[in-house]
Amino acid sequence: MAEKKKISRATMARFPIYLKALRAMGHIGKDNFLSSELAEVTHIQDTTIRRDFGFLPQKETLGKRGYGYDTNHMIEALSEMLGLGLDESIILIGVGNLGSAILKYNRWKYTVGKIVCAYDANPDKVGSVYGIDIYNIDDLETSFPDKCKIAILCISDDVQETVNRLVKLGVKGIVDFTHNHFVVPKGVEVQSVDVVVAIQELELKMKANEEE
């Protein structure tokens, strides 16, 4: 049996970039591509791309002279390698300033999936925003999307209670924009996103640059 090649972190980090670009290509009906074309879109050298592709599992990933690579095969191979749920059904809770902005930017369908619906406690918000259905949070249990595992939290009130309900429904990952502390059981991951923390980290790096 052939020895499994060790993949560097740098190569692994480039795979999602290729995948995003290829899904976009597939979306516009481009069935095959040359490494030079992918290089143009991703700004990664085509020699690097070809070398990275050599780590992918399927035989079909080998490019053919003049034809290049098959877009769908490469998408499959990259998805398999990354083991990502690229078609995740994601929900968003809290359609206020922040939530609305995120709904407007629901452009992840080539990478991680997309927001399929959203919820708010304010009945006036029920309807549709940027083409996405908004439900009353009271109807969470009855309208919860099938197999949804990821929720984005942009709420200001009752955070722990809302998290508990989401976990009960099978949510395994939360992108948290709230500034509230809450707890989740083992097996549920929380990824916090905070502009203030980002600015503080930036300042620390700037300070370190000044001291160099």
Ligand X SMILES: NC(=O)c1ccc[n+]([C@@H]2O[C@H](COP(=O)([O-])OP(=O)(O)OC[C@H]3O[C@@H](n4cnc5c(N)ncnc54)[C@H](O)[C@@H]3O)[C@@H](O)[C@H]2O)c1
Identify which of residues 188 and 193 has a Cβ nearer to ligand X in the complex. Answer: 193
Q: Binding to ligand X by residue 121, rule CB under 6 A?
A: yes
The span of 37-45, 49-57, 72-80, 176-184 binding ligand X (CB under 6 A) equals: 176-184
112-116 CB contacts, 8 Å cutoff, 24+ apart: 112/84, 112/85, 112/86, 112/88, 113/85, 113/86, 113/87, 113/88, 113/89, 113/150, 114/88, 114/89, 114/90, 115/90, 115/91, 115/152, 116/89, 116/90, 116/91, 116/145, 116/148
The DSSP element (H or E) to which 123 belongs, if any, is none
Q: Binding to ligand X by residue 166, rule CB under 6 A?
A: no
**Smallest distance from ligand X to CB 13, Å:** 25
Q: Binding to ligand X by residue 80, rule CB under 6 A?
A: no
Contact set for ligand X, span 93-112 (CB under 6 A): 93-99
The number of residues that bind ligand X (CB under 6 A) is: 25
Residues that bind ligand X (CB under 6 A): 93-99, 119-122, 125, 137, 154-158, 162, 177-179, 193-195
